[in-house]
């Protein structure tokens, strides 16, 4: 394999893994808030061919449950970034990418949903009496923070002066991580 193949493998694997794992940590936040509010989780959908969701019953606070996805969908990746920076600094750019990606996705999701509420989390928050401004504020904080985490990562992904050169172990590890995540999601969700 030449260096561009490893670069493409790294980028495609990291982006796909980040999309799927972002949905997992987002739904984990909903699940945590369902249990904390006294509800019961009926089903969690986290599958490569679906947009994730958590079905539940019995929670006295749907707003609390709705907020859980974005809050923990940001905090868990940030905590993972801290752990990786303390234990495996060589690969911290992968954790920084994931954390930045999750901050951008969750922030944009709530902020955009506040402007065009539907059946999404922002819609639930608004429908149950939550104000619009915290959703927008969340986005105004999370999205720039995510962009800040992504800034300067280009060379690690083979851009700029790296001229396509990436850490081959990271590329192969990212591809394996993606494959494992896909297998787990397929095995446990249909």
Is 94 in contact with 174 (CB distance < 8 Å)?
yes
- H or E, element range at 46: none
Structure tokens at 47: 């599958």
Query: What is the predicted pLDDT for the residue at 1?
Result: 60
Rounded mean pLDDT of 105-123? Answer: 91
Look at residues 179, 21, 169 and name the one whose alpha carbon lies nearest to residue 90. 169
The mean pLDDT of 59-67, rounded to a whole number, is 95
Distances from the Cα of 61 to the Cα of 16, 128, 129, angstroms? 33, 9, 11
Domain count, the chain: 1
Structural domain that includes position 66: 3-189
Q: What is the pLDDT of residue 190?
A: 53
CA distance 54 to 117: 18
Q: What is the pTM of this model?
A: 0.94
């Amino acid at each position: 394999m030449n260096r561009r193949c490893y670069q493409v493998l790294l980028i495609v694997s990291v982006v796909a893994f980040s999309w799927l794992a972002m949905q997992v940590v987002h739904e984990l936040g909903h699940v945590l808030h369902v249990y904390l509010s006294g509800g019961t989780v009926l089903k969690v959908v986290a599958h490569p061919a679906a947009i994730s969701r958590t079905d539940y019953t019995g929670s006295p606070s749907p707003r609390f449950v709705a907020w859980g996805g974005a809050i923990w969908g940001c905090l868990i990746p940030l905590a993972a970034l801290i752990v990786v920076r303390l234990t495996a600094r060589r690969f911290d750019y992968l954790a920084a990418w994931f954390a930045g990606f999750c901050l951008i996705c969750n922030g944009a999701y709530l902020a955009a949903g506040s402007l065009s509420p539907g059946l999404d989390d922002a819609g639930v928050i608004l429908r149950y009496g939550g104000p619009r401004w915290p959703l927008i504020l969340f986005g105004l904080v999370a999205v720039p923070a995510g962009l800040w985490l992504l800034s300067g990562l280009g060379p690690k992904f083979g851009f700029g002066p790296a001229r396509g050169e990436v850490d081959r172990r990271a590329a192969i590890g990212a591809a394996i991580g993606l494959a494992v995540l896909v297998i787990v999601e397929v095995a446990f969700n249909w």
